Amino acid sequence: MNLLDLPKGKPAKIIDYRGGKNIDFKLRQLGLSPGRIVKVLRYAPMGGPLMLDVEGRSIALGRGIAARVEVEVKNNADCTHWSAKLRQKYFI
């Protein structure tokens, strides 16, 4: 599943992304590295960017790049190793 398929408000773990060195560089600058937890805050209308929450920071990401980011949906049972603060933020 990629970021465009992720339901709004559902936390997911970044697995990998497709693309060359430039995509890799840009995503790492934004803090979107494999293993990070992201959540879609909103989808802009008319093909605009996605607003993401990346472990407490809000970033905007264009749909073309978002389509290259592979994620795995997380649920509360998968996140028992998270701190209480992160669990509260994402699940309560």
pLDDT in tens, 59-78: 999 999 999 999 999 765 45
For residues 1 and 27, is the Cβ–Cβ distance under 8 A?
no
Residues 32 and 88 sit within 8 Å (Cβ to Cβ): no
Percent of the chain, pLDDT > 70?
80
Domain containing residue 75: 3-80
Place of tokens 């934004």: 30
pTM metric for this prediction? 0.74
- Single out the residue of 43, 59, 36 nearest to residue 9, CA to CA: 43
Across the range 15-38, mean pLDDT stands at 88
* Structural domain contains residue 53: yes
**Is-contact 67 4, C-beta < 8 A?**
yes
CATH of the domain at 25: 2.30.30.90
As a whole number, the mean pLDDT across the chain is 83
* pLDDT reading at 91 higher than 80: no
Q: What's the structural domain count of the chain?
A: 1
